[in-house]
Chains A and B, each alone.
Chain A
Amino acid sequence: MYTFSSKLKTLSFILMAVGILGIGYGFLTAPKDIQEVEKLLAAESHGGHGEVKHEATSTSTSSHDGESDHSEATEEKKIVESATVVGSSSDSSKVDSTDVVEETQVVPVVKKEGGHELTAEEEHNEHLNHVLHQLQNKPWSALYVACIFFMLISLGVLVFYAIQQVAQAGWSPVLFRVMQGITSYLPVGSIIFFVILILCGLHFNHIFIWLDPEVVASDKLIANKAGYLNFPFWIIRAAIFLTGWSLYQYFSRKNCLAQDEENDNTFYKKNFNISAMFLVFFIVSESIMSWDWIMSIDPHWFSTLFGWYVFASFFVSGITVIALVTLYLKSRGYLEYVNTSHIHDLAKFMFGLSVFWTYLWFSQFMLIWYANIPEEVTYFITRIELYNLPFFGAVVMNFLFPLLILINTDFKRITWVLVMAGIVILAGHYIDFFNMIMPGTVGDRWFIGIPEIASVLFFLGLFIYIVFTALTKAPLLAKRNPFIEESKHFHY
């Protein structure tokens, strides 16, 4: 039996306490009204870089209008540039370039005036309102990203566990109890996540702009999606998915413990069956989940392989967490039968699925970049222009780094190499989720500051506390699994 080390317990409490303080700080420092935003912007423009940002966001109520306007502006900019290049044979290039700058600055303003007949003051107020919403979203989004990230990690572990059961893997049964420990975070994480979703529906924040009836009324594109994107349907879907996953987690663990005390393999077979059914349910629910909880943050945008992409991201994170927890327990002497071959197998999964994530990341990016259809490409334009470092940094952390480190067979057995690679992969996938959610909620107002870090710390503390508490509840080696002997002697 595992005993929760008091040091780790204290650490988890400290993380949660610091996290709560930071989250509270985030909510308290978010601006409450337009006056505060005005002061904030005034202070920024004295700093010098405020004007540039002001220009980049353009002026409109919601961030999504901002995006599309922005892309139209850039589109027109390109056309103007090529037109002047064609006609420039006789002129000197210097004159040309000033021409281009003037024209591109004029274009969006003209469009605005033609469309809405806004006075300068109204425009300024709209801009302030827009920034206010972004800043008010910031602590909420920070909480949302961390919450969904940790919940999906335990879901990723649950899927890996189910696959191992169904595939009748001979190497992994010695790790089943570790996986069950990690997945016991799922019910708790689901409840917190569900509460946040309900708070979104009760208009405590503007994370999902389609939940705002005013936006839906003025936005035809969103109004047309209201059959799918409406609060009751959305929250019922969420409830079904979260309950379904947690039910599998509960019964699978219960059967596994019952199998220990049994004389035949009835419970093993039961687990095999429910795992297969769970995997079918999962792949459908996962796809819909990714539309509901992540893609609908940008309700004007859609992508077909998005569900797979999200799946790859949290699946590889889940396996990394299994590896890290296993290494920790092994180093404390709790996993007698786990050897470097088991670790090696986990590391191969980390490596292979990192590449798989990159494949999907690139497939999604390249197809949209290549076709360059304005309604799809805005998604990446905001990310590349406003989130350049996190957007490409995630690829470096989730692809280049594991590719070069984990390609070596010997490295895959060295604890410190794996821990280092694992931490980089987890951080990279946090940033991946950050990239998926933040641009639609806070736009160019993003920063990885106190609210973001504190949210991660809080959920990390909670995760550690729940996972390691669950590990103390059952022996770390399943007794009567039909493959347990093979797994004990597994070597590669």
Chain B
Amino acid sequence: MSNKVIYAIYNDDDILMDAVKKTRAAHHHIEEVFTPFPVHGLDKAMGIAPTRLAICAFLYGCVGISVATAMMNYIMIQDWPQDIGGKPSFSYIENMPAFVPIMFELTVFFAAHLMVITFYMRSKLWPFKEAENPDVRTTDDHFLMEVAVHDNEEELISFFQSTGAVEVKVIDKH
């Protein structure tokens, strides 16, 4: 079985959006869309499920505040409860206002950094990663939609030409 894909290239984001909607309406499965900048509403038009990154961030924040609380409770209250400038170190709650700045910062720190790392991992981004760019122009001023071919090459080519593509290519992907 050959792994042929169609690259339909557009030079305007409005035309691209229309093409995506038509492609979805014609029930062709869109493998990927490459754009030089975020196109507002593209994910909705493609029917991509919403991201759960925010939920991750909330949970990471909960981890952060737990780490901060456990750490300071152990260090300041349990392990060596010194009298430092008259601050009450008899229980965590008694001295809590002094710990809030750290609790806040660690919550933000964990939420932000772990979320970013999650983003890198989920979108497979790292230094020295080989770029997966199918056409160099897509980082500058062109938009590319990739659709798999299943023995319907002729039909697909004429379909994408009718959607206003400036270029339609059939590529053998391995």
Contacts and interface: CB of A to CB of B under 8 A. Distances in A.
A409 B51 CA distance: 12
A407 B86 contact: no
Interface in B80-99: 86, 97-98
A463 to B, nearest CB: 36
B100 interface: yes
A99 B132 CA distance: 79
A369 interface: yes
A370 B85 CA distance: 10
B97 A365 contact: yes
A366 B86 contact: no
B117 to A, nearest CB: 21
A372 interface: yes
B58 to A, nearest CB: 7
Contacts of B100: 362, 366
The size bracket of the interface on B is under 10
A344 to B, nearest CB: 15
B86 A370 contact: no
Contacts of B97: 362, 365-366, 369-370
Contacts of A372: 86
Tell me whether chain A's interface is mostly helix, strand or loop, or mixed: helix
Nearest to A404: B58
A407 B58 contact: yes
B58 A370 contact: no
**Max chain A Cβ within 10 angstroms of own Cβ: one of B54, B97, B100:** B97
Contacts of B58: 407
A389 to B, nearest CB: 15
Interface string B61-95: 00000000000000000000000001000000000
Contacts of A370: 97-98
Contacts of A362: 97, 100
B166 to A, nearest CB: 30
Interface in A380-429: 407, 409
B80 to A, nearest CB: 17
Contacts of A366: 97-98, 100
A407 B58 CA distance: 9
Nearest to A366: B97
A407 B107 CA distance: 15
A472 B49 CA distance: 44
A356 B101 CA distance: 15
A409 B55 CA distance: 11
A261 to B, nearest CB: 37
A58 B86 CA distance: 26
A365 B100 CA distance: 12
Interface in B30-66: 54, 58
A84 to B, nearest CB: 15
B110 to A, nearest CB: 16
A68 B114 CA distance: 49
A285 B100 CA distance: 32
Nearest to A410: B50
B50 to A, nearest CB: 9
B105 to A, nearest CB: 14
B119 to A, nearest CB: 18
Nearest to B101: A366
Nearest to B50: A409
B86 to A, nearest CB: 7
A114 B120 CA distance: 72
Contacts of B86: 372
Nearest to B83: A82
Nearest to A85: B83
Contacts of B98: 366, 370
Contacts of A365: 97
A372 B86 CA distance: 10
A372 B100 CA distance: 17
A164 B98 CA distance: 37
A389 B86 CA distance: 26
A372 B98 CA distance: 12
B1 to A, nearest CB: 42
A362 B97 CA distance: 8
Interface string A352-387: 000000000010011001101000000000000000
Interface of A: 362, 365-366, 369-370, 372, 407, 409
Interface of B: 54, 58, 86, 97-98, 100
12 contacts: A362-B97, A362-B100, A365-B97, A366-B97, A366-B98, A366-B100, A369-B97, A370-B97, A370-B98, A372-B86, A407-B58, A409-B54
What are the 4 A-B residue pairs with the smallest beta carbon separation, nearest first?
Answer: A366-B97, A369-B97, A370-B98, A362-B100
Given A370-B98, A372-B86, A409-B54, 9 more contacts: A362-B97, A362-B100, A365-B97, A366-B97, A366-B98, A366-B100, A369-B97, A370-B97, A407-B58
